[in-house]
Amino acid sequence: MRLATLARYGTRAMVDLALCHERGAVPANLRDIAERQGVSYRYLEQIMLKLRASGLVRSVRGAGGGFVLARPASQITVAETVEALEGRISVVDCTADPSVCDRSSFCVTRQVWAEVAGAIQGQLGEVTLADLAARQAKMAQAVASAYVI
């Protein structure tokens, strides 16, 4: 299974929002997020629209406006983010919708694919944006401490 750029970039943007919240820079400007994450502004706009429609982020209008997480980072999982952007996590179509294959009711491989999808869902469901923000902060600190002039 391979996640599309939509999920990868969207998850990075969500972690960025979590970090902005921790630093007190709320709401986060979309152009700033795009620049920090190396993502096209227009593509990030589309991502944020989907995340807003799913209720994971909300937009703040006006001067100093931008985007904020709709709930605390500790209450938003990576699974929620991926599903908001790409739909239900599934490695093959028949696990999400058995009607796409006339063999679904007796296909032994479908069971394996469903188990794989469940394992992926389980792992992504255990990781929150707060977890990723903490990991990111540690990585940034390690990189900064390794830099010597």
Give the separation between CA 25 and CA 42, rounded to whole angstroms: 22
Please provide the DSSP assignment of the chain as one string: ----HHHHHHHHHHHHHHHHHHTT--SBPHHHHHHHHT--HHHHHHHHHHHHHTTSEEEE-STT-EEEESS-GGG-BHHHHHHHHH-S--SSHHHH-GGG-TTGGG-HHHHHHHHHHHHHHHHHHH-BHHHHHHHHHHHHHHHHHH---
Lowest mean pLDDT among 6-10, 37-41, 130-134, 135-139: 135-139
Strand partners of residue 58: 68
Question: What pLDDT is attached to residue 149?
Answer: 59
pLDDT above 90: percentage of residues in the chain: 65
Q: What is the pLDDT of residues 54-76, one digit of tens each?
A: 999 999 998 888 999 999 999 99
Residue 97 has pLDDT above 80, yes or no: yes
Residue 11 has pLDDT above 90, yes or no: yes
Strand partners of residue 57: 69
Give the separation between CA 54 and CA 108, rounded to whole angstroms: 34
Enumerate the domain spans of the chain: 5-146
Residue 44 Cα to chain centre, angstroms: 12
Q: What is the pLDDT of residues 16-47, one digit of tens each?
A: 999 988 877 679 999 999 999 999 999 999 99
In CATH terms, the fold of domain 5-146 is: Arc Repressor Mutant, subunit A (1.10.10)
Q: How confident is the model at residue 115 (pLDDT cuts 50, 70, 90)?
A: very high
